[in-house]
Structure 1
Amino acid sequence: MSLGYFTIAWATSVKKGVIENVDYGYKGKSTAGNVFGFFNGLGDVAFAYAGHNVVLEIQATIPSTPERPSKCPMWRGVVVAYIVVALCYFPVAFISYRMFGNKVDDNILITLERPKWLIAKANMFVVIHVIGSYQIYAMPVFDMIETLLVKKLKFRPVFLGGFAFAPTTYFLPCIMWLTIYKPKRFSLSWWTNWICIVVGVCLMILSPIGGLRTIIVEAKTYKFYS
């Protein structure tokens, strides 16, 4: 599904060609707008590459023995997954920006508009993809919420929908690594993990700020079913 609607997006962009008076400058009209737009962009990237908490759930289902630990096939799977992600996102990002400049919408399918049947097909792919992946992404969220409610707050087990990806997606693995392996302080591994933790926390703080401002600004002119 992903390859389907991403291919439609970049191939249709190539077909349309570069628009007249294309502008590759900043989209914001002020310094503040550009800064908050950058924060919002960080959130987009974080959302696109989120899902590391699901990796633990998947690896837990893989048979593991001392001779054949589960981390070996899991590592190969992760590498292939990121290659596929790169093949999906990078062509759309580069080609759509080349063709439309800063006029490109957050959703490239809105910018394309026509042919309508092809855009509808791409959106159908997106819906199928989201429905299929929702259950996988939601499992860690459900588990986390139920653990909190049942074990700590003594609530009865309940099923709640996930409103967002866990913010610990980006720095929890690093904290776990430091806690379990206890690398030598100020070593390369120690610095690498702490840098990832700091970047992850900053991302968690800055991304919602940019996203909230974008929602507020766009809500002034947004029209449902327009």
Structure 2
Amino acid sequence: MAREMQKNTMFIEQNTGDYENGDPQKNLDDDGREKRTGTWVTASAHIITAVIGSGVLSLAWAIAQLGWVVGPAVLIAFSFITYFTSTLLADCYRAPDPVHGKRNYTYMDVVRAYLGGRKVQLCGLAQYANLLGVTIGYTITASISMVAVKRSNCFHKHGHHVKCQTSNNPFMIIFACIQIVLSQIPNFHKLSWLSILAAVMSFTYASIGLGLSIAKAASGGEHVRTSLTGVQVGVDVSGSEKVWRTFQAIGDIAFAYAYSTVLIEIQDTIKASPPENKSMKRASGVGVTTTTLFYVLCGIVGYAAFGNDAPGNFLTGFGFYEPFWLIDFANVCIAVHLIGAYQVFAQPLFGFVESLCARHYPDNKFITREHAMDVPFCGVYYLNFFRLVWRTAYVIVTAVLAMIFPFFNDFLGLIGAGSFWPLTVYFPIEMHIAQAKIPKYSFRWVCLKILSWVCLIISLIAAAGSVEGLIQSLKTYKPFQTRNEE
């Protein structure tokens, strides 16, 4: 029964007879689970896949709201905050010692080990609500990229002034069908190849967007207006619009770096030597540095190319029309990347529900039993019927919600506002204080608390901006109208 319990978590284990040389211990880690084989390279791929979303192409809009000075400064500031708190969280993977302590497999487990009490439930609520929102948002965004391919061909054939309206729903269904198949990958441990592919795709479309922006800015074909403070009151926007857009831009940048929701799950794929916290810190450094470089370049060059009229996304929003084949390729890369990113964010939620059900119903064969299947060219796959039904149902529900609420990205911003501060800043800082036993009111304690409070204020500001955007979306929402990203 213990073996069945282990199989039904995120980590599938083989029977001891399947191991070579008859010694199962050689294939198990110190916690009795299947030996982890991940490295800082695969962890970096997971991070880049989680962090560099299609939102990188909307940073020109964010910079346009903030201007030449504040925009890049906010980008760099949040990169430092994210990296710093990620290193604190990486040290908490094992408790109480960061190198030799007991492993914690999820963010909630880490909070339980260091803080306990109601904070565990608050962490779970913030984390899994965020993961749910992200997967729905990715379903919407991927369909927009797929639609953009069809519209790009239409514009090329019939001219740029034709509406070329196309429904997003068929593409959401296609995306959901792909996710149903990929969701049967049992755990994060088996996702490295998908994350590496997705990371390559993110580099590709970000580079294409950057290259097209450079070409547009260098051509000097049309005059664009830029300024030190971004969009101008009385010229581009009203005073109130300037305030709300500034809040939204800060929120977009803050949440663009947030991958703490899956950091512990990523770290749990890394092999024990060298120590996991050391590898994870290196991966975080590589991931955050890489994403910051792309963010700054895409934001600054995109702003230089489009000025204060920068679109929300210059690939799906048609900041460019030609060469149409390159736009098509970039949008295909976005869709492929989001296919992988969906899994990176969905797997922790899958594992949480499956582990919870296994603990509550250990004798239920439908939940616990694994059925070995010999898959040609892939080896043995362990099929679990509960996993098949639950994950398929989850993907279908997220797709249906995405079709019903096409403005769900506004909800996603609100969910992100509610999860950024607790998951990226508050819990890592509080657990570090508990782990390092930092004296109350000491200089280090005060500095950490100030950072936490500043980020809380930013989250509240971003939440206000998201609520205002949601209200505007509700006012203009027509349930049966075809929606395309302009």
- 2:255 aligned residue (47, 55, 66): 47
- 1:98 aligned residue (296, 304, 309): 304
Do the aligned partners of residues 106 and 145 (structure 1) sit closer, same or farther apart at CA in structure 2, a change above 3 Å counting?
A: farther
The equivalent residue for 1:176 is: 431
8 Å Cα contact 1:170-1:197 kept in structure 2? no
- Return the TM-score normalized by structure 1: 0.81
1:26 and 2:280 correspond: no
Deviation at 1:209, TM superposition (A): 2.0
Do the aligned partners of residues 45 and 149 (structure 1) sit closer, same or farther apart at CA in structure 2, a change above 3 Å counting?
A: farther
Secondary structure of 1:129's counterpart equals helix
Deviation at 1:204, TM superposition (A): 2.9
Residues 62-100 of structure 1 deviation map (CA, whole Å, 9 limit, x = unaligned): 2336xx421111111111111210222111101111121
The equivalent residue for 2:73 is: none
Do the aligned partners of residues 147 and 106 (structure 1) sit closer, same or farther apart at CA in structure 2, a change above 3 Å counting?
A: farther
- Identical aligned pairs, as a percentage? 28
Report 1:140-179 matches (<5 A): 140-142=348-350, 160=394, 164=415, 166-167=419-420, 168-171=422-425, 172-179=427-434
Over aligned residues, Cα RMSD in angstroms? Answer: 3.2
Aligned residue type for 1:224 = R
1:5 and 2:205 correspond: yes
Do the aligned partners of residues 139 and 2 (structure 1) sit closer, same or farther apart at CA in structure 2, a change above 3 Å counting?
A: same
Do the aligned partners of residues 147 and 213 (structure 1) sit closer, same or farther apart at CA in structure 2, a change above 3 Å counting?
A: farther
Distance 2:463 2:357 in 1: 25
8 Å Cα contact 1:23-1:101 kept in structure 2? yes
8 Å Cα contact 1:113-1:119 kept in structure 2? yes
Q: Report the structure number with the largest CA radius of gyration.
A: 2
Distance 2:207 2:278 in 1: 31
Do the aligned partners of residues 200 and 3 (structure 1) sit closer, same or farther apart at CA in structure 2, a change above 3 Å counting?
A: same
Task: Give aligned pairs, total.
Answer: 221
Structure 1 regions of 5+ residues with no counterpart?
Answer: none
The equivalent residue for 1:124 is: 332
Aligned residue type for 2:467 = L
Distance 1:148 1:201 in 2: 31
The equivalent residue for 1:195 is: 450
Do the aligned partners of residues 71 and 26 (structure 1) sit closer, same or farther apart at CA in structure 2, a change above 3 Å counting?
A: same
Distance 1:114 1:197 in 2: 45
Distance 2:304 2:438 in 1: 45
Secondary structure of 1:117's counterpart equals helix
Residues 34-77 of structure 1 deviation map (CA, whole Å, 9 limit, x = unaligned): 11111101221122101112111111222336xx4211111111
Do the aligned partners of residues 34 and 15 (structure 1) sit closer, same or farther apart at CA in structure 2, a change above 3 Å counting?
A: same
Aligned residue type for 2:225 = D
Secondary structure of 1:63's counterpart equals coil
1:57 and 2:265 correspond: yes
Do the aligned partners of residues 8 and 37 (structure 1) sit closer, same or farther apart at CA in structure 2, a change above 3 Å counting?
A: same
Secondary structure of 1:170's counterpart equals helix
Distance 1:174 1:4 in 2: 35
Deviation at 1:21, TM superposition (A): 3.5
Deviation at 1:220, TM superposition (A): 3.8
Do the aligned partners of residues 33 and 193 (structure 1) sit closer, same or farther apart at CA in structure 2, a change above 3 Å counting?
A: same
8 Å Cα contact 1:13-1:99 kept in structure 2? yes
Do the aligned partners of residues 192 and 150 (structure 1) sit closer, same or farther apart at CA in structure 2, a change above 3 Å counting?
A: farther
Aligned residue type for 2:208 = I
Distance 1:87 1:60 in 2: 27
Secondary structure of 1:50's counterpart equals coil
Distance 1:135 1:169 in 2: 20
Deviation at 1:142, TM superposition (A): 4.7
Do the aligned partners of residues 147 and 45 (structure 1) sit closer, same or farther apart at CA in structure 2, a change above 3 Å counting?
A: farther
8 Å Cα contact 1:2-1:88 kept in structure 2? no
Structure 2 regions of 5+ residues with no counterpart?
Answer: 1-200, 360-366, 368-385, 399-411
The equivalent residue for 2:289 is: 83
8 Å Cα contact 1:51-1:169 kept in structure 2? no
Aligned residue type for 1:196 = L
Deviation at 1:32, TM superposition (A): 1.7
- Return the TM-score normalized by structure 2: 0.40
Deviation at 1:131, TM superposition (A): 0.8
